Amino acid sequence: MAPSATSTTLITQRNREDLALSKTLHGTTFNEENHQASFLTKLKQKDREFQPAVVDNYLKNWKEEQPENETEEAKAERQSAYKAVANSFYDLATDFYEYAWGTSFHFCRFRPREPFQQAMARHEHFLAANMGIQPSFKVLDIGCGVGGPAREIGHFTGAHITGLNNNDYQISRARRYAHTFGLQDRSDFVKGDFMNMPLEDGSYDACYAIEATVHASTLEGVYGEAYRILKPGGVFGCYEWVMTDKYDATNPEHLRIVRGLEVGNGVAKMMTRKDCLQALETVGFTVEKHQDMGETEDKIKWYYPLEGDIRQANAFWDYLTVLRTTTAGRAATTYMVRTLEALGLAAPGSTKVSTILQTAADSVLEGALLGIFTPMYFFVARKPLDATN
């Protein structure tokens, strides 16, 4: 359904404000021509007054130190602010992600002797292949980050990929990368909230999300939008962040890990596997496949870079990735950033950002080892051929 003139005006005004704030925060590194600036340059170029305020406002979304003391009203308030929570998080975290992980912001499974980036690409290919994406398809990437998966799936399938993202800094980087890798004619990137997509009903053959829809206030909301923009018979594929059936919402240790996942990753509220499947059915999808891709007998676990087993690395750049993402590596990065900040070579607030991301990695690893969390609950769902929006 097309938005009203009033809502369109409000969205346009909000988008202009978001863009202005993002340009203020990132300084000259926001410009597309500066997308290859070094990590240290990016830290230095952040606005020295604005970044600390962004960090503090972000952390205010979690008022209680102990999650068991948080009221339902406080949780609901954070969920209603899901868009601002995620937008602030990615303004703060994107440069750190690219420095430590690359341009595809997700986890993946690994095979013996398989280099890190090859495994990441295979994970994306697996999703596209199971969805049956064809060269003629018009495809939406929901929450596209800086466009890593969109570029890989575009190359793999030959389809036209549109990336939807609510973060201006990431959009600017995604556009530049697409041009660099020769995909500017087969991709585009749209500013928008995935709970209220600025896209026409029934306009896409397929859509996918890779560890992105966890930022939604409700899964029914974002899955409902995916359903709306798909043509009848269209397919939706996803790797979803969920708490598994082993998660116990009355266990204080589990609650602590969930809090770490939320604070460390810009998530308003973690959902469960059951929530995921129920939401798909509620909005009208037919679920064709679903599986926890993290719960396997793989010799090399998906979380090995966080765990720090450097023996599993298979290429020179893999060693750098693992060294940066181990517990010791994350601590070393925070120490480096703290030193740079003290010397005036990184903007104030940079150390807090690094600490937030340490919390994220620690919580992901703890949740994985306990079996209560997976970042890759895989599903393929289809909009019925006789569906009407």
In this predicted model, what pLDDT tens digit does every residue of 331-352 receive, in sequence order? 889 999 999 999 999 999 999 9
Are 229 and 123 in contact, with CB atoms under 8 Å apart?
no
| Mean pLDDT within 224-235 | 98
Is residue 320 predicted with pLDDT exceeding 80?
no
Residue 187 per-residue DSSP state: E
- pLDDT band of 10, cuts 50, 70, 90: low
- pLDDT band of 131, cuts 50, 70, 90: very high
Q: What proportion of the chain, given as a percentage, has pLDDT over 90?
A: 79
- pLDDT band of 321, cuts 50, 70, 90: confident
Is residue 174 predicted with pLDDT exceeding 70?
yes
Backbone conformation region of residue 37, classed left if phi is above 0, alpha if psi is from -120 to 50, else beta: beta
Within a 13 Å sphere around the CA of 286, how many CA atoms are in the beta-carbon half? 11
How confident is the prediction for the chain on average, in pLDDT?
Answer: 92
Q: Which residue has the higher pLDDT, 11 or 324?
A: 324
- pLDDT band of 243, cuts 50, 70, 90: very high
Is residue 14 predicted with pLDDT exceeding 90?
no
Other Cβ atoms within 10 Å of 371 Cβ, number: 14
- pLDDT band of 34, cuts 50, 70, 90: low
Is residue 2 predicted with pLDDT exceeding 60?
no
Range of weakest confidence among 18-32, 47-61, 205-219: 18-32
Interval 192-221: pLDDT, tens: 999 999 999 999 999 999 999 999 999 999
Is residue 97 predicted with pLDDT exceeding 60?
yes
Q: What is the pLDDT of residue 123?
A: 98
| Mean pLDDT within 150-160 | 97
Burial of 38 (0-12, 13-18, 19+ CB in 10 A): exposed
Interval 264-284: pLDDT, tens: 999 999 999 999 999 999 999
Is residue 296 predicted with pLDDT exceeding 60?
yes
Within a 13 Å sphere around the CA of 139, how many CA atoms are in the beta-carbon half? 31
- What DSSP element (H or E) covers 119? helix 116-131
pTM for the model: 0.94
| Mean pLDDT within 75-87 | 94
Q: What is the pLDDT of residue 388?
A: 80
Q: Which residue has the higher pLDDT, 10 or 68?
A: 68
Are 128 and 85 in contact, with CB atoms under 8 Å apart?
no
- What DSSP element (H or E) covers 120? helix 116-131
Are 122 and 104 in contact, with CB atoms under 8 Å apart?
no
Cα dihedral 79, 226, 168, 84, rounded to 10, equals -10
Q: What is the pLDDT of residue 32?
A: 59
Is residue 119 predicted with pLDDT exceeding 90?
yes
- pLDDT band of 188, cuts 50, 70, 90: very high
Q: What is the pLDDT of residue 51?
A: 96
